[in-house]
Amino acid sequence: MTVFADTLFAAMAAHGDAPAIERQGATLTHGDLLRRSETRALELKGEGVGAFRPCPVLVDNSPVDLIELLAVYRADGVAVPIHRATPRARIEELVARLVPDPMLHGASTIVFTSGTTGAPKAAVLSAERQAAKLQMIRRETGWQDGRRTLLALQLTFSFGQWVTWLTLLSGGTLVFPEKLSVDAVAAVLARRDVDRLPAVPTLLRGLLDRPETAALPGWAGAVMAGGEVLPAGLGAKIRGAWPGVGIGDIYGLTETGTCDFFVDPPEYDAASGSLGRPGGDIETRIAEDGELQIRSPYGMVGYLRDPQRTAEAFDDDGYFRTGDLAQLRDDGRVTLVGRAKDLINRGGMKVAPLEVEAVLAAHPDVAGALVAGVPDPQSGEAVIAVITAAPGREPVPERVLAWAGERLERYKLPSRLKVVEALPTGATGKGDRGAVGRLFIEPV
């Protein structure tokens, strides 16, 4: 086995009778999970899975998915998680790209990035680096052993993967909701018997909007936000609704091995709205054009069978080009301005969606906001936005815009604002700006 598989299977053996998976009252111990994974690994070897061969695994966030992924690692294969809801034609297209390649020697996982344009890139993760990154995250977060993690993340998502493996590595329990939905996650969280909730901010907004989780005064767990920016306003709402909770935040990319910056719960109030501090061995810088760049010993090997995009992803010094625009705050912490590709050019003036979203979401009647640019014959691009209502409130677009106009330059104000029931999200649960324009199209 690779060092990554060795680490996971040794941990499961050591934690034996401790619960590893819980779902709707049913429990599997670490020993159960180990034995079932080893049995399935023997079957996979009989089917031809071998050393560093890519093996697609269809997942939909159920315990059997973990058994299948672990079995691939135990059989020395390279696990490639693909969501079951992916259209068949796209699955066939992705699988066709999974052929043996020298880049896969020493690899453990291939993660297809969730780009909004072009074919997804297949990021190849090294087994040695993946194992080392888990230990790094464990140190940086003070991840405690034997705790219960509410798994409210996609297993196709790097965030969901490392949370899963680190929980097993530390002898903890993965608590699965009935399905990956706000209502199902809220039903589990309302019991207040989990220790950690790693989640994307979009899900956290939804939980604050549910009656059973709008207030959790008796819960003393930890929220770990990631996958997208946690706005300071949303963090403040979590602090008010769940007063006993510690709030942490992480930032990283699949290509850099995830988790490059950390906002520690004790420092949350001072660091909110920023990326916090870089983790150990992580080097960062802001380029002249404002792009955040990261050099990490835990990063990907490259994009499978795509040397051109692999080369373009790094500069001559080995820094990964994140595509995120960043600034240094007065306290020395880094804050994101937005994605370079998301910047809106309104008559020559640049508008960062993140800035506008933060202002809109700070309105007392608003739970969340998503901003995008759409073609406009007069200005080149127009700024549009959708918002969701805070619990018990009914935001009036004209009043929200007037309020925002006191806090933003005029050219940054949305020309159209619409209240929607839920912000559009992509496959990993993050906000999908590309879908905002479609919400303004009236049905015929």
**Residue 262: inside a domain, yes or no?**
yes
The residue among 278, 297, 328 that closes a domain is 328
- Co-location of 350 and 374 in the same domain: yes
- Co-location of 297 and 391 in the same domain: no
CA distance 322 to 335: 14
**Residue 337: inside a domain, yes or no?**
no
Q: Phi first, then psi: what are they for 224, rounded to 5°?
A: -120, 105
- Co-location of 80 and 189 in the same domain: yes
Q: Mind listing the pLDDT tens digit of every residue in the chain (444 residues)?
A: 899 999 999 999 999 999 999 999 999 999 999 999 999 999 999 999 999 999 999 999 899 999 999 999 999 999 999 999 888 888 998 999 999 999 999 999 999 986 444 578 999 999 999 999 999 999 999 999 999 999 999 999 999 999 999 999 999 999 999 999 999 999 999 999 999 999 998 899 899 999 999 999 999 999 999 988 888 889 999 999 999 999 999 999 999 999 999 999 999 999 999 999 999 899 999 999 999 999 999 999 999 999 999 999 999 999 999 999 999 999 999 999 888 888 898 887 888 898 899 999 999 999 999 999 999 887 888 999 999 999 999 999 999 999 999 998 888 999 999 999 999 998 788 889 989 999 987 654
**Residue 336: inside a domain, yes or no?**
no
**Residue 120: inside a domain, yes or no?**
yes
- Co-location of 269 and 350 in the same domain: no
User: What is the per-residue DSSP string for 191-235?
Assistant: T---SEEEE-HHHHHHHHTSTTTS--TT---EEEE-SS---HHHH
- Co-location of 296 and 384 in the same domain: no
The CATH number of the domain where 391 resides is what?
Answer: 3.30.300.30
CA distance 136 to 123: 20
The CATH number of the domain where 134 resides is what?
Answer: 3.40.50.12780
- Co-location of 158 and 251 in the same domain: yes
Contact 76, 39 (CB under 8 A): no
CA 370 to chain centre: 17
**Residue 220: inside a domain, yes or no?**
yes
- Co-location of 217 and 113 in the same domain: yes
Name 22's bridge partners: 27, 175
The residue among 295, 328, 361 that closes a domain is 328
Owning domain of residue 412: 343-440
CA distance 7 to 132: 10
CA distance 270 to 260: 19
- What is the tally of structural domains in the chain? 2
- Co-location of 273 and 395 in the same domain: no
pLDDT tens by residue, 5-21? 999 999 999 999 999 99
- Co-location of 319 and 347 in the same domain: no
The reported pTM is 0.86
- Co-location of 206 and 170 in the same domain: yes
| 423's tokens | 């912000």
- Is beta strand 222-225 parallel, antiparallel or unpaired with respect to 246-251? parallel
Residues 6+ apart with CB under 8 A from 428: 114, 153, 154, 156, 157, 159, 200, 227
**Residue 334: inside a domain, yes or no?**
no
- Co-location of 130 and 164 in the same domain: yes
Helix or strand run (H / E) with residue 80: strand 78-83
- Co-location of 361 and 312 in the same domain: no
